[in-house]
Structure 1
Amino acid sequence: MAIITLTTDFGEKDYFVGAVKGAIYNELDQVRIVDISHSVSPFHISEAAYIIKNAYRSFPKGSIHIIGIDSEFTPENKHLAVLLDEHYFICANNGILSLLASEIKPEKIVEINIHDTTQTNFPVLDVFVRVACHIARGGTLDVIGRNINEIRYLKQFEPIVNTEEDQIIGHVLYIDNYGNVVTNINRKLFEQVGKGREFVISARMLTFKDIYESYSDWINFDVAKEERGEEGGKKLALFNSEGNIELAIYKSNPSTVGSAATLFGLEIRDTVTINFEK
């Protein structure tokens, strides 16, 4: 049975998500639809890319992923269907795929060309669904588009390494449901540039000199719990499950005491710098 996932900025209030699901079921009654997220910030390409990039790998090969972010069809925002890592992605050519394909080269890219058979101002419903269902039936990408070799790339989302290779300048890429701050600096780049040197991570007025492997890695479990003092509220940097450097507060609650994002005063695209010992 085919799997079609949905990642959008539609939210849950409006009819959009329900209409898209209904259209899929109207074409395919034997299909599984999985909601990855409908809470992406409106038109936020990097946020959507982070979510889908770290979710799609858990799905079986051959799964079809509809990404409904900034999908209005214009001469500068064409639509794509892409085979990448044995998964299918359907989205606008707005740069989101360059963030997904930063480490894996797409196996096939087509620019969707079925728009002349559909009049729509809701392309996710009227175009993306048709393409997804076509693929789910076993159809080829060549039928619904023309082959292209290049996609739009967004270089501004990549961290910068200075010429002396003792500094990485990155930024906040994503803020999760707990208010943890995810940067665009990953473990591979950190280790490649750092080469085991001591370092300082700086973000606004904050500094971190250690990176932990998990949220509780800093706790000394050899000490009795009643002797450790208050554990909540500890600020820390760690490599998260996706390998990105994350700034967090241990067991924070955004609804009560605040979160890393609010207490650190960090927002998406704010600068995060790592300076290594020379």
Structure 2
Amino acid sequence: MAIITLTTDFGQKDYFAAAVKGAVYSELDDVRIVDISHCISPFHISEASYIIKNAYKSFPKGSIHIIGIDSELTPENKHLAILLDDHYFLCANNGILSLLASEIKPEKIVEINIHDKIESNFPVLDIFVKVACHIARGGTLDVIGKNIQEIKYLKQIEPLINSDKNQIIGHVIYIDNYGNVITNISRKLFENIGKGRNFTISARMVTFSKVHETYSDCINFKIEKEKRGEEDGKKLAVFNSAGYIELAIYKSNPLTVGSAASLFGLQNRDTVTIKFEAYASKDRKAEL
């Protein structure tokens, strides 16, 4: 059974997501549709890429992923079908592919050319559904488009490392449903630069000197619960499931106790800095 996923900024109020699902089921009886998210911030390409990049790998090879973000067809925003990591992605050429393919090279990219079949100004419904169903039936990408090599490149803000290798300057790339703040500083980068040294993470007025493995690591369960003091609302830094440093509030609720984003005053693209202890002179020489 073919799997088709949907990631859009349609939200939950309107009929758009339901119409797309209905169109798929009208063409295919034997298909499974999975909603990755319909709550992407409007036209927020980097947010969508973070969610899709960390979700698609859990799906079986051959899954088809429709991305309905900034998908209106224009001379500068063509439609693409991509085979990447044995998964199919249908999206606009608005830079999202360059973020998805930052670590894995696409096996095939075609520019979709079936737009003579457009029936409305709803490209996800008219174009992406038809292409997804074509692929689900076993169709090839060559039938629905022409091969291309050049795509729109959207430069993602990469962390900066100073020349002494004792500082990483990163940025906020995503804020999740709990209000937790995800940075673009990966665990791999943190460990490669830090090499076990003590450090301080700074973001606006908040600081951290430890990164936890899990959220509950910040709680000392050896102490009786009544004697631990305040648990909910405790700040922490953690390596999240996607492998990035995340700034969080333990058991946060943006509607009650607040969240990391609101309490720390952080939003997308804000700076997060990690300063490591300087090497001792003899250790520094050995490192060089």
TM-score range (shorter-chain normalised) is: over 0.9
CA distance in 2, matches of 1:106, 1:32: 25
State the 1:120 CA deviation. 3.5
Match of 1:117 in 2: 117
CA distance in 1, matches of 2:158, 2:116: 36
Please list, as runs of the form range in 1=range in 2, the aligned pairs for 1:49-64 lying within 5 A after superposition: 49-64=49-64
| Aligned AA (2:245) | I
CA distance in 1, matches of 2:171, 2:150: 26
Unaligned runs of 5+ in 2: 279-288
Match of 1:134 in 2: 134
- With normalisation by structure 2, the TM-score equals 0.93
Match of 1:185 in 2: 185
The total of aligned residue pairs comes to 278
CA distance in 2, matches of 1:89, 1:150: 16
CA distance in 2, matches of 1:168, 1:93: 31
State the 1:27 CA deviation. 1.0
Match of 2:282 in 1: none
> Aligned to 2:156, what secondary structure does the other structure show?
helix
Give the superposed CA RMSD: 1.3
Deviation by residue 1:58-82 (Cα, 9 ceiling, x = unmatched): 1111110000001111121111111
CA distance in 1, matches of 2:167, 2:72: 39
CA distance in 1, matches of 2:143, 2:157: 33
CA distance in 2, matches of 1:149, 1:168: 34
Range moving further from structure 2, 195-204 or 233-242: 195-204
State the 1:152 CA deviation. 2.2
State the 1:119 CA deviation. 4.8
Please list, as runs of the form range in 1=range in 2, the aligned pairs for 1:165-184 lying within 5 A after superposition: 165-184=165-184
Q: 1:199 to 1:153 in 2, by over 3 A?
A: farther
> Aligned to 1:109, what secondary structure does the other structure show?
strand
CA distance in 1, matches of 2:201, 2:154: 25
- In our comparison, the structure showing a higher alpha carbon Rg is 2
| Aligned AA (2:141) | L
CA distance in 2, matches of 1:200, 1:246: 14
Q: Is the 8 A contact 2:172 2:268 kept in 1?
A: yes
Match of 2:162 in 1: 162
Match of 2:13 in 1: 13
Unaligned runs of 5+ in 1: none
Deviation by residue 1:11-40 (Cα, 9 ceiling, x = unmatched): 111111111111111111211111111011
CA distance in 1, matches of 2:140, 2:163: 46
| Aligned AA (1:36) | I
Q: Is the 8 A contact 2:117 2:126 kept in 1?
A: no
Range moving further from structure 2, 33-42 or 192-201: 192-201
User: Runs of 4 or more off by more than 6 Å in structure 1?
Assistant: none
| Aligned AA (1:232) | D
Match of 2:4 in 1: 4
